[in-house]
C-alpha cells in the first residue's frame, strides 16, 4: 500500500501544510462557496483530498495492529475506510470549532466482535502496544443510544516522520446491528439520526432500543428502566412500522452487476442511488488501490450536488466480511430485526394486558415474531 499512497500524494500539484488544510476546511464550511467562488471551492477540495490521502498508510498500520490483536478470534471482522467528503464537510459544519487538520476520523477502522468480553480483550491488547485516547460509549452511552468503544491513536505516515490520527471503533455484534439500522433509516429517509438530528419519534425509538439492546450484551441495568425501554421500543416500533420499513428497504434495493464482482480481498467502490433504489459496486485488487481512489474521487465530485447518490470506498477481506462490516450499504437490517423481535416479544409476554387483548380480539396489532 505504500507505493499506492506515494502515487496518490505525488499526483497532487501541491503539498498542503496543516495550516493550508485548515484554511481549506474553513472554505468548505461556506455553503455557497461552490457557486460564489468555484475556483476556491475546487482548490479546497484538492486540499481535502490530499489530506485524506495522507491517512492511507497510517490506516494500513492501524489495520495491521488490529490483525495482530485479533489473530486468535476468527469471528472478528475488520474493515477500514477513508471518510467520505460529504461526511467530512457535514462534520465541519456540525461541530463548532472543528478544524479539518484535527478531525480524528478522516481515517477509520471498524472491528465487530462477538461480545463485550471480546471488545475489552482487544482494547486491553491495543493499549499494551501503543498510546491511545479512549472514548468509552459503553460505560457512558451517547444520548442517541450509540454504544461502542473508540480508540484514537497516531500511526506513521508515508515519510515515517509524521504521524496521523486514526480512529478505531470496537463494537459488539449487537451494537453493530443497532448502528447499522440507524444508518439505513438515515439513508432512505434523508434524516441524520446518527448525528442526533431527525424526527423525535425515530430519535426516541433508537435511544430506547440502544438501552434495551444493551441487556442482550449482558449489561446489568435497572429492571424497571429496562422494562420502560422495552415498552417504548415496542410502542414506537408499531407506530413507525419499523419492521415493515426495513423489509421494504431491503427488498427494494436492486444490486447491479453483482455476478461480475470478484469476492476476494481488495477494495469495493460502492455507489447507491436512493431515488432509483440501486446499488452498484466495482472491485479493485490490492495493487489497484490508486485506480480505485482515482475513480472514487471522480464519482464523489460528479455526485457532489446530488444528495440521492452515496459513494463510498471500503476494504474488507471477502464478500461475507464486506456485508458484515457494512450491511447498511445493502439495506440489510436482519440482525437488528432479530434483536428487535426479541425485545418486543419479551415486553409483550411480560404484559398481561397483551394477553387479554388477544383473547378478547380487541387488538389490531400483529403478534410479534419470535426469533427462532
Q: How far is CA 336 from CA 169, 224, 254, 307, 343, in A?
A: 19, 23, 21, 26, 11
Count of domains in the chain?
Answer: 1
> Does residue 104 belong to any structural domain of this protein?
yes
Instruction: Give CA–CA dist 110/97, Å, rounded.
Output: 26
Could you tell me the pLDDT band of residue 318, with boundaries at 50, 70 and 90? low
pLDDT of 314 strictly over 50: yes
pLDDT exceeds 80 at position 160: no
Residue 175 and residue 213 in contact, taking contact as beta carbons nearer than 8 Å: yes
Question: pLDDT band at 80, cuts 50/70/90?
Answer: very high
**Does 11 fall in a domain?**
no
Mean pLDDT of the chain: 87
Q: Is the pLDDT of residue 363 over 50?
A: no
What are the pLDDT digits (tens) for 127-137? 999 999 999 99
- Residue 53 lies inside a defined structural domain of this protein: yes
298, part of any domain: yes
pLDDT of residue 273: 93
Is 4 part of any domain? no
Mean pLDDT check: name the lowest of 21-25, 176-180, 222-226, 354-358: 354-358
The region of weakest confidence among 3-7, 47-51, 147-151 is 3-7
Query: Helix 116-129 and helix 56-69: axis angle, to 10°?
Result: 120
In a domain, 9, yes or no: no
pLDDT tens for 26-56 read 999 988 888 889 899 999 999 999 999 999 9
- CATH code, domain carrying 63: 3.30.460.10
pLDDT at 265: 76
Q: Which among 172-186, 254-268, 347-361 has the top mean pLDDT?
A: 172-186
pLDDT higher than threshold 80 for residue 8: no
**C-alpha cell at position 35:** 457557486
Mean pLDDT, residues 171-176: 98
Whole-number pLDDT of residue 371: 38
Q: What percent of the chain has pLDDT over 90?
A: 63
Please tell me the pTM assigned to this model: 0.86
222 is a domain residue: yes
On whether residue 306 sits in a domain, the answer given is: yes
- Read off the pLDDT of residues 247-304 as tens digits, 9 standing for 90 and up: 999 999 888 766 655 556 788 899 999 989 999 888 888 888 889 888 998 999 888 8
Structural domain boundaries, residue 33? 17-350
Amino acid at each position: 500500500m505504500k507505493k499506492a499512497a506515494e502515487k496518490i500524494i505525488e499526483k497532487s500539484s501541491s503539498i498542503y501544510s496543516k495550516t493550508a488544510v485548515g484554511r481549506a476546511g474553513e472554505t468548505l464550511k461556506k455553503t455557497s462557496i461552490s457557486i460564489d467562488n468555484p475556483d476556491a471551492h475546487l482548490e479546497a477540495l484538492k486540499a481535502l483530498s490530499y489530506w485524506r490521502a495522507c491517512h492511507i498508510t497510517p490506516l494500513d498500520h492501524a489495520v495491521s495492529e488490529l490483525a495482530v490483536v485479533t489473530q486468535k478470534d476468527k469471528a472478528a471482522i475488520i474493515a477500514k475506510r477513508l471518510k467520505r467528503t460529504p461526511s467530512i464537510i457535514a462534520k465541519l459544519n456540525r461541530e463548532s470549532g472543528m478544524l479539518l487538520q484535527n478531525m480524528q476520523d478522516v481515517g477509520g477502522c471498524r472491528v465487530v466482535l462477538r461480545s463485550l468480553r471480546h471488545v475489552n480483550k482487544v482494547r486491553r491488547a491495543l493499549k499494551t502496544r501503543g498510546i491511545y485516547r479512549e472514548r468509552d460509549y459503553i460505560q457512558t452511552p451517547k444520548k442517541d443510544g450509540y454504544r461502542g468503544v473508540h480508540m484514537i491513536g497516531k500511526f506513521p505516515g508515508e515519510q515515517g516522520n509524521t504521524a496521523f490520527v486514526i480512529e478505531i471503533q470496537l463494537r459488539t455484534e449487537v451494537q453493530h446491528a443497532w448502528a447499522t439500522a440507524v444508518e439505513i433509516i438515515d439513508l432512505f429517509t434523508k434524516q441524520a439520526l446518527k448525528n442526533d438530528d431527525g424526527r423525535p419519534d425515530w430519535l426516541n425509538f433508537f435511544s430506547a432500543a440502544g438501552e434495551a439492546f444493551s441487556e442482550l450484551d449482558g449489561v446489568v441495568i435497572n429492571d424497571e428502566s429496562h422494562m420502560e425501554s422495552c415498552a417504548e421500543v415496542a410502542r414506537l416500533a408499531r407506530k413507525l412500522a419499523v419492521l415493515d420499513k426495513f423489509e421494504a428497504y431491503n427488498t427494494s434495493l436492486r444490486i447491479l452487476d453483482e455476478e461480475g464482482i470478484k469476492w476476494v480481498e481488495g477494495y469495493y467502490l460502492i455507489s447507491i442511488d436512493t431515488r432509483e433504489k440501486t446499488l452498484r459496486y466495482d472491485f479493485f485488487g490490492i495493487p489497484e488501490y490508486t485506480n480505485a481512489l482515482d475513480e472514487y474521487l471522480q464519482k464523489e465530485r460528479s455526485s457532489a450536488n446530488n444528495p440521492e447518490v452515496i459513494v463510498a470506498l471500503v476494504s474488507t477481506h471477502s464478500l461475507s466480511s464486506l456485508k458484515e462490516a457494512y450491511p447498511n450499504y445493502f439495506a440489510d437490517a436482519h440482525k437488528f430485526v432479530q434483536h428487535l423481535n426479541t425485545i418486543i416479544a419479551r415486553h409483550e409476554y411480560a404484559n398481561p394486558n397483551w394477553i387479554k387483548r388477544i383473547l378478547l380480539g380487541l387488538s389490531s396489532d400483529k403478534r410479534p415474531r419470535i426469533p427462532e
